[in-house]
Amino acid sequence: MPRGRYSLHDPHDGTPLGEELFQCAPGPTGWRYVSRTGPAHAVDLTLDALGRPLRLELRTADWQVRGAALDGVTWVRQSVDGTEAEEGNADARAFTGVSPAFRVATAHLLRLTPATPTARVRLLDLAPPVLAPRTRDETWTLLGSERHDTDAGQLTVEHYRVDDLETGERHTVHLAGDVLLAAPGVELEELDSPPSRLRPEE
């Protein structure tokens, strides 16, 4: 069960946005990731064996969202003080947001291979601080993978290119199992055990 710490910063100007303390592990249903960024911000994401979101809970200082894959994705967004609440549904395959968990989850959902290295996916973006929902279309491309020998055994690092189809922005994501090694706005600072393998062929 990897535990670690990511540093988060603005991908455009480098402004520090805090640290995300996390732990994640495969489980009976698929995979679970829990994290905390400061006293009020938290992520709890559970995927099924195919990478679909079984349960998502997001919290910021003033808002919280609960969601799951149901007729696309379905969610309830409400203010922490209970004065505002709304339900929603979108024709999307999964959720995304600032947390590194979502990049790992999207890669696991798409299951790209050298034979089928590219896929287009519609995601529901929930960005802090207000967690307002917005659909987002991306194309993910598996650029390649490398195997590295470590003290804990062989580690496979996968490299992805992600294209935002609305803005035209492009960036690269580097993953090892269920841990994000690097992406714009995210750096892995600490990891206390090797990443878990989400797919047997890794």
List, as one string, the DSSP characters of 1-47.
--EEEEEEE-TTT--EEEEEEEEEEE-SSEEEEEEEETTTEEEEEEE
pLDDT tens profile 64-95: 999 999 999 999 999 999 999 999 999 999 99
- What does the domain layout of the chain look like in residue ranges? 3-191
**What pLDDT, on the 0 to 100 scale, is given for residue 27?**
81
pTM for the whole thing? 0.93
H runs (alpha helix) in the chain: 100-110
H runs (alpha helix) in 39-190: 100-110
**What pLDDT, on the 0 to 100 scale, is given for residue 17?**
86
**What pLDDT, on the 0 to 100 scale, is given for residue 28?**
79
User: What Rg, from alpha-carbon coordinates, does the chain have?
Assistant: 16
**By C-alpha distance, which of 200, 156, 197 is closest to 31?**
197
> Quick count: other Cβ atoms within 10 Å of Cβ 85?
10
Which residue bears the tokens 């395959």?
A: 93
Q: Tell me what percent of the residues of the chain surpass a pLDDT of 90.
A: 81
**What pLDDT, on the 0 to 100 scale, is given for residue 198?**
74
**What pLDDT, on the 0 to 100 scale, is given for residue 148?**
82
What stretches in the chain show pLDDT beneath 50? 201-202
d(C-alpha 79, C-alpha 109), whole Å: 30
Q: β-pairing, 179-183 with 153-164?
A: unpaired
**What pLDDT, on the 0 to 100 scale, is given for residue 201?**
47
